[in-house]
Amino acid sequence: MTGLVAGVDVGGTFTDLVIFDPATGAVRLAKVPTTLPNQSGGVLNAFAEAEADLSSIDLIVHGTTTTTNAVLERQLSKTGLITTMGFRDVLELGRRTRPQAYGMKGHFVPVIPRDLRLEVPERMDARGRVLTPLDEAALRKAVTELRDAGCEALVIHFLHAYANPAHEVRAGEIAKGIWPNAYITLGHKLLSEAREYERGVTAAVNASVQPLLERYVVRLADQLAEKGYARDLLVMNGNGGMISAKDVAKEAVKTVMSGPASGVMAAVATGRRAGMPNLLTYDMGGTSTDVAMIKGGVAPVSNEIEVEYAMPIHVPMVDVRTVGAGGGSIARIDAGGMLRVGPESAGSTPGPVCYGRGGTRVTISDANLILGRLPASRFGQAAEAAFSAMQAQIAAPLDLSVEAAAEAVIRIANTHMAGAIRMVSISMGADPRDFALFAFGGAGPLHAVALAKELNVPKVLIPARPGITNALGCVLADLRHDFVRTLNRPLDAADFAHVHRVLAEQEAEGRRLIGHEKIALTSVRTEVSADMQFVGQTHLLRVQLPSATPDREQLQRLFEAAYRTRFRVDLPTIRANLVNLNVSVIGERPALDLSRLIDPKGRLDKAEPASHRKVWFESWHETPVYWRDHLPLEIDLKGPVIIEQMDTTVVVDPGARVTSDGEGNLIVEVAA
Amino acid sequence: MIDPVTLAVIQAALQQICDEMDLTFSRAAFSPVIAEANDRSDGIYSATDGSLIAQGSKGLPVFVGVMQFSTRTILERIAAGLTAAPEPGDIYIVNDPYLGGTHLMDVRFAMPVWRDGRIYCWLSNTGHWPDTGGAVPGGFSASAISSEQEGLRIPPVKLFKKGELDQEIYQIICSNIRVSEQRIGDVKAQASALLVGAERLGLVLDRYGDATVTEAIAEMRKLAARQMRAMIGLIPDGTYLSWAIVDSDGVVNEPLTIALAVTKGAGDLTFDFAGSSTPCMGPMNSVRATTLSAVYLAMRHIFPDVPISAGAFEPLAVTGIEGTFLDAQYPRPVSGCAAEVSQRIAEAVFAALVQAVPDRVTAAPAGTSGNFGLGGHDPERGRDYVMYQISGGGYGGFAEGDGISNGCSTIGISKAPPVEIMEQTYPVLYRRYALHEGSGGAGQHRGGFGLDYEIELLRGEARASFVMDHGRVGPQGALGGQDGAVNRVEVIRDGVTLVPEHLSKAQDIALKPGDRVRVRTPGGGGYGPPAARDPALVAEDVRLGRYSPADAARLWPDH
């Protein structure tokens, strides 16, 4: 491949573009405002801003939040559901939950309203035996009724279809003859395992975002073609892989979590090249923070992500957890006199006081400003307001100085974020000393060093361009196909010839699909894992397998070892269950040279501070401020140091030491 | 004095330790009741009096405050020489309801945390074991008339001695409970959660110093009390009366009454239960610890911001329970206390305080665990089984909106098992799993809807038992809203429909293949007068089939 490679990611505020020239290593970047609701305007603007000639681009990979926004804002296509007699309310009843443990209030809107959920006679038992044959006349009537009601997409979701999909398949065939388009989702197709609510919601979300995703990518592909782009447009999926725009809508639900996934993929690639395969990713934005644990250079994948309250999406997706703390999290004194930070957030509107957009309650960002960690010059008049708000709301009631109050806010926020990161990493048996914190997003590098200290993580890795990490993830991601097969058998009763056959089939199918894509690859590799439990348990533990031909005792051993790591418990008398077999087939793309993400031409021979300013670390420190684009490739600086760049501010606390590697990443050793 | 920042940081750290214990316990547990239903809780307790320092935020609500009573009992018994004094590595086990507990199935572990040869504090957790012996599998005997019929009662004894499981005590336990072979997994999970907590607490103590943490704990208690008093300050002075009804005790078919008078005094709140029914013959008694916990959990539902700690409970006084069924003594049977009576107590608290702070409290939620147990033999698999179908119901309407449909019990936080998993595991077929139409209590903001399910027995003989409630009267409406629909149980045998004599409670109804059980769980109470409801919302509910046109016309006559 000689042509240019472009990654373009649409975030909540900005659309980011990065274009690589593999021949010369040259990089072009653009950041433009996101356009809503149609994100393609921003995408085209980004290419215009980068002055890119689209006819010279070989590959465009696109990360979009079209489906994410549609789901969270319930801007869904009108969708109908046909299900087993007696079960149309499954989507409305949920799993008998409430939004929070305490407080009996809340609100829930099912993905598909009750009048568009119809029932037909048919029934399988749990082993897939037909108890009631499919009533085809009733089915035809139901499909017609939903079509005539104006539904654009259709879901067919029958009980136990994972055990025997015959009725769903037949119903799909009949529906095809009646339905005016191809937007028909069969429940078992996306997720072939038991649990009717999760399978039903996954299918319902898929159907109800399909039409808008397809319209969006088709229009975007057309517009790119008009500007001269002659190749396939690829779209990021939530599993951290990419898929052709032509096919993406078939399994549209897989794009719902694609934004955070691309950030993790960038972290995987950056960490591998930097020799740091174990990373805790830390992406702090305005309202929330995304966290993931990467072990051994492998992105974590989960089949059980809940996008919001009672909205499970059970397809393999990069396991990113969202913590409700961001720059906009509000600090307050509670009725008992205790200082609290979050979970309330000022978001981006009205936003922190220092944004000057009408926010009146102090936030984490305001505290960073007061402590000199963010440059006051960026905020103008509103900076004053942040000081007086901190004085009135926090400092005065606690009898602290404004600076001490601001530092308190940061410390408490860090304690909470560290706790949240700990719950998804250290609590799962990981040793923090084996990890580096990969800090990105606009606010990540502000807190990362202090947070790493709190977590006992020895190093922080800050990529060259923390603010465009997601766009970078788009160009670094691989092709990827994931397969899950449920066996649910005691290990001792499992037929290993069958196990090997299943794994081989999954791998062959993945390789076949990857072979169809016209993308340059350096290699195709396979990751194999099993979800296991002790007989009698309900929770699953994922065990990575060294090959696709495991034997019985090896599985028991690997599972026991994983269990011991996680729970510090040995249960030698109990045997294991083999629940799921998972295969991921990954087509690796040629490596890109990341060393020019920061233009080498700007580099100075020697690290010279651009300025100094007072920054508070328990007291005021006169702190050198460097401009990142001017740093030489080799630096060795002692904290306190501030490093500014277009898209973020890096805070290096006193006692820490910052160096860089040949690719322009900063590496902070927390305790030098 | 401790600075406010260190205080907040230590509070967050202690909270995280408890959350981490909760997580470890659930994920490692074998019993689905713990692993899936999260019927467990973990906390940190004072070494001097057992009072609650911090408790996991994801613990089962009914355990709010309970373990401080059992921990205190252990301390008192050690002091009195009734229980052996602790050594490092020891973990005590106890499930005695009358020594600060709930029902026998809730088994508590307690472990001292040692610093420099002295006990700094205690860690304790509770997990619901699937069986602790007794007359019926699972322990919920609707017709038990004494504690011995309910299961094995364990006083505080050391289950782990210097870090080693005491095989002798463990074997006594295993010989008295059903499906004992998997219990070792739960025992290790429960102990592992405490060990994880001790390790993490050690790090916090090393980092901040024991004296500083001690000071923080004392200050946290003061601040929590102050915060609860600030919340109580929102309540206008006065006495608020309410009541709640338990259908029957399962043995004598007479309603039991909870009478409550909540009085707002200067900075405190008194919950006076004088006039409630006397202890009952059947298992619908409550014990003191559970009664107090029910009041605490109701308050936390109303004021979720106040941290769970002994300080928060200080301004709350509970009186008048002596001699009533809310303070039962040995050997009164108590299996219904945690699942049902506690929810009626919470309902009484809601019904009193919705009058006082109407913007914070909902109308009554379904408030029953809806326990339908089916035990029998599956000839296809050649084995015996015990199935539980625990159900939710509608929540009450509230100031900002309609109640949630099919929410879990007031005292629980668990997810319902999927129908597909139930059918994989047991010889049953669900004929229907639907919204209980028309069940939401009418009001300006209507109650949420209950669940309407029907289960057919496919194979083998079986016996059905029910421990539910709200069969006589539905969950109470508030401020002019109407009650939600009552719980209805029907057993259809040979095509003949039978309604249990006690409506919501029955034991050992024989079933054969083809027989069915239909349960319709309660809807939530309505909030505010029905006439004030937006007519468009009434029409929308009718269009969606949630109410029949006739029901809607009856419930909202003004529309």
Residues of B in contact with A415 (CB under 8 A): 8-9, 12-13
| Residue A527: pLDDT over 70 | yes
CA–CA separation, B453 and B451 (whole Å): 6
CB–CB of B480/B442 below 8 Å? no
* pLDDT over 70 (residue A672): no
- The phi and psi torsions of A112 (rounded to 5 degrees) equal -120, 125
In the predicted model, what is the mean pLDDT of residues A263-271?
A: 94
pLDDT at residue B525, rounded to an integer: 98
Q: What backbone phi and psi angles, to 5 degrees, belong to B312?
A: -65, -25
Instruction: Report pLDDT digits (tens) over B177-233.
Output: 987 887 898 999 999 999 999 999 999 999 999 999 999 999 999 999 999 999 999
| pTM of the model as a whole | 0.93
Q: Which of A86, A98, A114 sits opposite B432 (nearest CB)?
A: A86
Phi then psi dihedrals of residue B344, to 5 deg: -70, -35
Mean pLDDT value of segment B84-103: 96
Chain-centroid distance of CA A103 in Å reads: 29
Q: What is the mean pLDDT of residues A438-467?
A: 94
| pLDDT tens-place string over residues A611-626 | 999 999 999 999 999 9
**A262-276, A286-300, A401-415, B443-457: least confident range:** A286-300
The pLDDT, as a whole number, for residue B428 is 97
| The pLDDT of residue A402 is above 90 | yes
Beta strand B488-493 pairing with B383-389: unpaired
* For range B310-319, the mean pLDDT: 96
Q: What is the pLDDT of residue A60?
A: 96
Indicate which of A81, A84, A89, A618 best probes the interface with B, i.e. most B CBs within 10 Å of its own CB: A89
Residue A591: predicted pLDDT: 84
Q: Which one is predicted more confidently, B472 or B305?
A: B472
* CB pair distance less than 8 Å for A104 and B395: yes
Q: Taking residues B260-279, report their average pLDDT.
A: 96
Instruction: Kindly report, residue by residue over A163-217, the tens digit of the pLDDT.
Output: 999 999 999 999 999 999 999 999 999 988 889 999 999 999 999 999 999 999 9
Q: What is the pLDDT of residues A208-241, one digit of tens each?
A: 999 999 999 999 999 999 999 999 899 999 999 9
**What residues form DSSP beta bridges with A235?**
A62, A243
Min mean pLDDT across A43-52, A140-149, A397-406, B56-65 is at B56-65
pLDDT for res B329: 96
In this complex, do B434 and A400 lie within 8 Å of one another by their Cβ atoms? no
Beta strand A611-616 pairing with A620-627: antiparallel
Q: What was the pLDDT predicted at A1?
A: 47
**Quick check: A335 and B451 CB within 8 A?**
no
Question: For A336, which residue in chain B has the nearest alpha carbon?
Answer: B227
Q: Choose the weakest-confidence range: A477-486, B124-133, B308-317.
A: A477-486
Residue in chain B nearest A122 by alpha carbon: B431
- Between strands A117-120 and A79-84, the pairing is parallel
ipTM reported for the complex, 2 dp: 0.94
Residue from A124, A188, A538 whose CB has the most chain B CBs within 10 Å, to mutate:
A538
Predicted local distance difference test score (pLDDT) of residue B181: 80
- Is A427–B451 a contact, with Cβ atoms under 8 angstroms apart? no
CB atoms within 10 A of CB A109: 9
Residue B454 forms beta bridges with which residues?
B432, B518
The mean pLDDT of B357-385, rounded to a whole number, is 94
* pLDDT value at A2 more than 70: no
Chain B residues near residue A573 by CB distance under 8 angstroms: 184
Nearest to B55 by CA among B313, B305, B411, B308: B308
Question: Which amino acid appears at position A62 of this protein?
Answer: H
Once rounded to an integer, what is the mean pLDDT over residues A630-647?
93
| Percent with pLDDT over 70 in chain A | 100
Does pLDDT of A371 surpass 50?
A: yes
Q: Is the pLDDT of residue A100 over 60?
A: yes
Chain B residues with beta carbon closer than 8 angstroms to that of A113 = 544
Nearest C-alpha in B relative to A399: B4
CA dihedral (A403, A408, A409, A414) in degrees, to 10, reads 130
Contact A107 B396 (CB under 8 A): no
Q: What is the mean pLDDT of residues A408-433?
A: 87
